[in-house]
Structure 1
Amino acid sequence: MKAGADMNIGKTVCVFVLLTITTVTRTAGNKRVSVTVGNSSVLTCPPKSNRTMVTWKISPRVGGPCTLGYRTDQNKTDRTNCSDSMNWKFRPDQDPALEIRQVEIAHEGNYICEVVSTEGNFHTTYHLTVLVPPRLTLYCDDHGNPVCEAVAGKPAARISWVLESSFTPREEGHDNGTVTVVSKFTAYSSNVTNTTCFVSHPAGNQSNSIVCRPSENSFILHASIILCFLSVFTFMAVIYYFKLHGSRPCHKTKPSETAQNRQTLQVRRTRQIRPSRNHGSSGSPENMDDTMEVEPYTTYVQKENIIYNSVSDLTVGQSLPQGLSSAT
């Protein structure tokens, strides 16, 4: 029985201690703070009187943690691993606020202020976000299209155009956490020349306008494409034409020999045959072959002689005096 009673007393003491801790330790809340890079930021602690100790616990996203402390009983401050850009805003015994001068991206992180007073323990947590405004760049590309760039912004900026267009933003991240956004303007109408780019960002909005005209390089490129297409089309048409008409047979007539060429040929054959006729026998095979080769020429000469005699008779008959006739 006595052991059971001791256990009940122990549970009661534990519950009392937990309730005391919950009552003494209070949270002032979590706060989100945004500050533009290069500016200064001041973070405050819970406004409690009769403070005995104040401690800033800083956990930046880049680098190790650091602490700033102050004890009232010793009127002494202490700092560990904190840069010179972080310090008390005023005297810590009067106002333990923390000031961050020339805020950089490396300062982004969590900042906790803990206050110990006669009323209890209090703390406030800040989540610091550093904003980096992008650098607006607007130019015309090689084809005469406007290009808008929001360079190295944090967070990523949003780009829009005044006139209706078709564009797809492209993002490029950097090692320091910033983002570059690129957008190319493509107008639905080719008559659009003056365009305006809007960049929306938590650190501030920006806008700029530009006039772009089609470049000569773009015209040359289009003309080259058209000429190349026409050349290919013409080449294919020529090939098709020859393929269509090239299957017809081509007949070439062999030029006929003239009478003079035939006569020259026969004379040459006669000159080659005559020596063999004088020295050989008439009954030999060689003479027979020669006779067979000469016969066409002999027949041809006989016909020529007949024609010549006829023409001569006719000519003489016309030339004689009346009453005379040529003897045949």
Structure 2
Amino acid sequence: MPCFWRIDLQLLLMLAVFLVAECVSTGVEGLVTSSNSTQQMDKDKNSLGLQMDKEENSSKPLTEDVIVTLWKIILRNKPHCIRAHKRATHMTTKTNCTDERMTWPYRPDQNSVLQIDPVVITHDGYYECQVVTPDGNFHYGYHLQVLVVPEMTLFENNTRTAVCKAIAGRPAARISWTPEGDCVPEHNSWDNGTVTVQSTCHWADSNVSVVSCSISHETGNWSQSLDLNQVYSSLPVLVDTKAVLYCPTVPLTDVIVTLWKIILRNKPHCIRAHKRATHMTTKTNCTDERMTWPYGPDQNSVLQIDPVVITHDGYYECQVVTPDGNFHYGYHLQVLVVPEMTLFENKTRTAVCKAIAGRPAARISWTPEGDCVPEHNSWDNGTVTVQSTCHWAESNVSVVSCSISHETGNWSQSIDLNQGVRTFPVSRLLIILYVKSSLFLVILVVVGIICFQSRFLSKTCFPWPHPQRTVKS
């Protein structure tokens, strides 16, 4: 199967070149001359497409007839920058020129080259050099177009549906498919002037197996292929455990490139690649230190995740490039979380069973069945709490059982709906009443005896006053 990835594409080239424009005197080939003192700039425009971070340099000596050399730089949303040099006085002036990346690397009276190092997107604009001589004025202009190489990605989104992207290119790239499908294009423009182009295509015809996406851009053309019939093996893994993913079995001596493509939700694709000839390993958008090649990639291409967390849920595809063809194998990694089970009586003859924070959602059933109300609560970390509240109106239903079914196991608990109600025989109630009454009588007798004895010692046993005695004289 054709490989649908190019290693040099995964590094987003920042289209970098620095502009080296030159301004020369009379008699130099390529300059426009005029007997008039001024010329129209539109006549001398030269489109110059440059890639950032690359260098290009050319210069020619100036003649002794030059009086003034001047660069006029017109950028979008900025005041015009004027850089001028007067040969007679060796005086150089700058007006509205604050970008330190634009320089005269040589003495302006010897070489008028303007250098931009490095070129960035904001350098896109019009650059005109003017040379004043006794014989007239000469000028030459550049319309500098800063190009950005788009990053290409191709992946299967849904069944028999593929998505091809040209990310953050400048100008916008063009996408085409072979064979053609039912496609929906999208364009997203970013604040930095780049554009992401996306095409989502569906092929209903089951005879279509391998599809190719082609991207055309001013900086180059690229193509990747995808097998719509490729099967991802489902790989369930418990959270906080270790996962080991394997590549197709190929003799190591035949391997040219080994690549892991990792597609996670709401994250840019992670690409880990190893080129056997140069022993060079590259990573693009791979910041998770829990994903590693525990062995040398040229010896063993196993991808290890330790420990696994919920955010590792996604697609993992290994591609091996050999002289005989390309081989790949994919995993749909499903991160499982064991739910916590609780069962309790909420109200009279009403029970609540919960499977808390499981992944995926658990299933709850009751024995015997009751009048139940289910609830589902999804949490930000991807887990789900499932709750079932059941009521049994029939008094003959006593013990009920809740069962939870989940990919990680099955659990069951029981509860007695009558455990809060106590019934006693009449004989037991009479015995309890007799004991309590006897104890009360004993307490009264003891208190009476104590008070009777203390009456003759003090008058504090009873709170009421004693009658006064009268003594006859």
TM range (shorter): 0.5 to 0.7
CA distance in 2 between partners of 1:179 and 1:211 (Å): 27
Match of 2:272 in 1: 68
Unmatched 5+ stretches in structure 1: 1-20, 217-328
SS at structure 2 position matched to 1:79:
strand
Does the 8 Å contact 2:236/2:335 carry over to 1?
Answer: yes
TM-aligned CA deviation for residue 55 of structure 1: 0.9
CA distance in 1 between partners of 2:361 and 2:263 (Å): 24
Does the 8 Å contact 1:26/1:123 carry over to 2?
Answer: no
Determine which structure has greater relative contact order: mean sequence separation of CA pairs < 8 Å that are 6+ residues apart, divided by chain length.
Answer: 1
Structural mapping, 1:231-310, within 5 Å: none
Does the 8 Å contact 1:42/1:98 carry over to 2?
Answer: yes
Match of 1:290 in 2: none
Match of 2:297 in 1: 92
Match of 1:11 in 2: none
TM-aligned CA deviation for residue 144 of structure 1: 4.3
Match of 1:107 in 2: 312
TM-aligned CA deviation for residue 202 of structure 1: 0.9
The structure with the larger Rg is 1
Structural mapping, 1:1-12, within 5 Å: none
Counterpart of 2:405 in structure 1: which amino acid? S
TM-aligned CA deviation for residue 129 of structure 1: 1.6
Bigger fraction of residues in strand: 2
Unmatched 5+ stretches in structure 2: 1-210, 213-224, 422-473
CA distance in 1 between partners of 2:392 and 2:294 (Å): 53
Match of 2:455 in 1: none
Which of 406, 413, 419 is the matching residue for 1:208?
A: 413
1:118 aligns with 2:323: yes
Match of 2:249 in 1: 47
Counterpart of 2:309 in structure 1: which amino acid? E
Match of 1:77 in 2: 281
TM-aligned CA deviation for residue 62 of structure 1: 4.1
CA distance in 2 between partners of 1:63 and 1:140 (Å): 43
Match of 1:167 in 2: 372
CA distance in 1 between partners of 2:359 and 2:405 (Å): 12
Match of 1:36 in 2: 238
Deviations 1:276-328 (A, max 9, x none): xxxxxxxxxxxxxxxxxxxxxxxxxxxxxxxxxxxxxxxxxxxxxxxxxxxxx
Bigger fraction of residues in helix: 1
Q: CA distance change for structure 1 residues 162 and 144 in 2, over 3 Å: closer, same or farther?
A: closer
Does the 8 Å contact 1:87/1:98 carry over to 2?
Answer: yes
Does the 8 Å contact 1:114/1:124 carry over to 2?
Answer: yes
TM-align CA RMSD: 2.8
Structural mapping, 1:124-139, within 5 Å: 124-139=329-344
Does the 8 Å contact 1:42/1:89 carry over to 2?
Answer: no
SS at structure 1 position matched to 2:372:
coil
Does the 8 Å contact 1:144/1:215 carry over to 2?
Answer: no
Match of 1:302 in 2: none
CA distance in 2 between partners of 1:201 and 1:26 (Å): 34
CA distance in 1 between partners of 2:343 and 2:414 (Å): 8
CA distance in 2 between partners of 1:143 and 1:188 (Å): 9
CA distance in 1 between partners of 2:294 and 2:265 (Å): 22
CA distance in 1 between partners of 2:260 and 2:417 (Å): 55
CA distance in 2 between partners of 1:215 and 1:63 (Å): 53
Equivalent pairs, count: 197
CA distance in 2 between partners of 1:210 and 1:109 (Å): 40
TM-aligned CA deviation for residue 65 of structure 1: 2.4
TM-aligned CA deviation for residue 164 of structure 1: 3.1
Does the 8 Å contact 2:349/2:391 carry over to 1?
Answer: no
Does the 8 Å contact 1:89/1:98 carry over to 2?
Answer: yes
Counterpart of 2:246 in structure 1: which amino acid? T
Deviations 1:219-255 (A, max 9, x none): xxxxxxxxxxxxxxxxxxxxxxxxxxxxxxxxxxxxx
Q: What TM-score does the superposition give when structure 2 sets the normalisation length?
A: 0.38
CA distance in 1 between partners of 2:364 and 2:226 (Å): 44
SS at structure 2 position matched to 1:96:
coil
SS at structure 2 position matched to 1:133:
coil
Q: CA distance change for structure 1 residues 189 and 89 in 2, over 3 Å: closer, same or farther?
A: farther
Counterpart of 1:163 in structure 2: which amino acid? P
